[in-house]
Structure 1
């Protein structure tokens, strides 16, 4: 029995190892299509986000469930292009059973270079995004200036965070 369990474990490890490159390629293609959907203002963009999915944008007030994010983005998706993120670099990882995929990416955007990270789960032969967070990448050399701008804005605006 122990030999059978060991053999099955080794086979599972071999299958996961073999699935790695193919799964990474599939995940990258999915994410590239997702970004391309936004670049061409295709509503299919939102179909790639899980119904219970979360999208966190660059502004501290931007944390949406999929449907609320879709409502917020409607004006953007009436244009020829909602937003156009070009991937500069992406790292993709997955759970041992390949049901969960997480990634981080560096993006060329109209805001300059941004960073993002996300989690996807398998959905049939594809994926769905369950969590995505987009952040503006602030170079360390200008972080002090940016911090001062934010603090000045918050003092004027009065918003310090908290539940939304």
Structure 2
């Protein structure tokens, strides 16, 4: 199992961090089809949720595009690829997430990263990017219009 990012423990006491590490190992080792793998972590209770930098940037660019359908319409990326990225994010939630982040929040953050050429665009969802670009001229045009995502300033550079 790869090392867990420090942000998955931010805001937790030492005792809670130890407990969370055990929860991540427990739920991460379960199969993705096992419904018991998607029960909320006990260490999520009472911790304030933070939005991902990709979600913040998405909301600045498209304040009215919240749903997956609206994101598809705004970018031209086919809905089926956005849904697949969302579903992968929901499944990845069980292997570790920031304290108090829900499965749905994790899925939406992943789609924002995917659409803004963030980390998932280049790594975990790169296969979806290739398929979407091959199938849709508007998807290729969207991603070609974004040169890179600047994490430091949290905005798009063209």
Q: TM-score, normalization: structure 1?
A: 0.26
Greater share of strand residues, 1 or 2? Answer: 1
Greater share of helix residues, 1 or 2? Answer: 2
> Greater CA radius of gyration, 1 or 2?
1
Q: Which protein, 1 or 2, shows the higher relative CO under an 8 Å CA cutoff with sep ≥ 6?
A: 2
